Amino acid sequence: MSETKEQKERWSYSRTACFANCKYEYYLKYILKDDEMYLPEGNYYSEVGSFMHDILAKIFDKELTLDNALMYFVENFDDNVLYKTRYSTMEKTFEICTDYFAEVDFDWLDNYEVVGVEKELHFTLGDYDFICYIDLLLKDKRDGKYVIIDHKSVEYPYIKGTKKPKKRCIHNLTTYTNQMYLYAHAVKQNYGDFPKEMTWNHFKDEGKLATIDFEKSIYDEIMDWYIKTIHEAENEKEFLPTYNWFYCNVLCNYRNSCEYQLENRG
Ligand code: SF4
């Protein structure tokens, strides 16, 4: 089961991360693509995340004022979030998101020019074509440097008052750093400069902002990781599953059709 030429036309952060996370999911999603046997499904968490992203995009595109965002969220929630999960989780999530829109302010944006919202960028890395969508690309008016913002539903990753990651956040932080540096590479190719910093907007964690500075040595390391991972994907023969209880039971798009998961579930 190796990848054919037609199937390797375009890479992305999510495609590479999918291979690194579970090779069998990668096989179902990017190679087999058999929607009759393995119909991809969404989930509650990803629907809430997409809805929040859509609202934030409307705000930064000036289609929606921040004052009206809370009402928009409440009025349109049921049309945008169809999946269900445990009642207490849904109740808590709704409260967290409404609190976010009630309390957040974007006054700090006055110092920035909005370059793009959900900005689609095409670029290459080595011999590979890539695509990405940057949630919010800004230019600092004070020094003319780019800043990337990515909205995340996961918790703020650092221990309060430090730049030390919480133990349980290390995996996400590594993955999302890979994502940010790929976007930095895209910005460099499309606009001529690397961003000076990249910021995660943790909208479900009181809108805390976590910023990392761009560092060339980390960039080089991560670009090597992408190339190495793509080579591995191209040469992969077995596409074995990686089992993680929460991911396999709640998040994976194939959780109700993957035979490994069905066997584990019993
Ligand atoms: S359910 Fe688990 S093992 Fe199956 S494809 Fe998804 S992540 Fe992989």
| Amino acid at position 30, single letter | Y
Predicted local confidence at residue 187, as pLDDT: 98
Predicted local confidence at residue 265, as pLDDT: 84
State which of 242, 252, 257 you would mutate to test the pocket of ligand 1, scoring each by most atoms of that ligand within 8 A of its C-beta.
252
Protein residue whose Cα sits closest to atom 4 of ligand 1? 258
- Flag residues of the chain having pLDDT under 50: 1-7
C-alpha of residue 254 to centroid of ligand 1, in Å: 6
Q: Where are the alpha helices (DSSP H) in the chain?
A: 13-21, 23-26, 44-60, 66-80, 87-103, 170-191, 216-235, 245-246, 259-265
State which of 14, 19, 21, 24 you would mutate to test the pocket of ligand 1, scoring each by most atoms of that ligand within 8 A of its C-beta.
24
Span 87-129, pLDDT tens digits: 999 999 999 999 999 999 999 999 999 999 999 999 999 999 9
Residues 23 and 142: beta-carbon distance below 8 Å: no
C-alpha of residue 55 to centroid of ligand 1, in Å: 30
Predicted local confidence at residue 7, as pLDDT: 46
Q: Please report the domains of the chain, with CATH numbers, ordered by start residue.
A: 44-103 (no CATH), 110-214 (3.90.320.10)
Tell me the C-alpha distance between 89 and 166, whole Å: 22
Query: Which residue ranges have their beta carbon within 6 Å of ligand 1?
Result: 22, 24-25, 241, 243, 247-248, 252, 254-255, 258, 260-261
Q: In which region does residue 83 sit, left (phi positive, over 0), alpha (psi from -120 to 50) or beta (all else)?
A: beta
Residues 72 and 59: beta-carbon distance below 8 Å: no
Protein residue whose Cα sits closest to atom 3 of ligand 1? 241
pTM for this prediction: 0.94
Predicted local confidence at residue 266, as pLDDT: 76
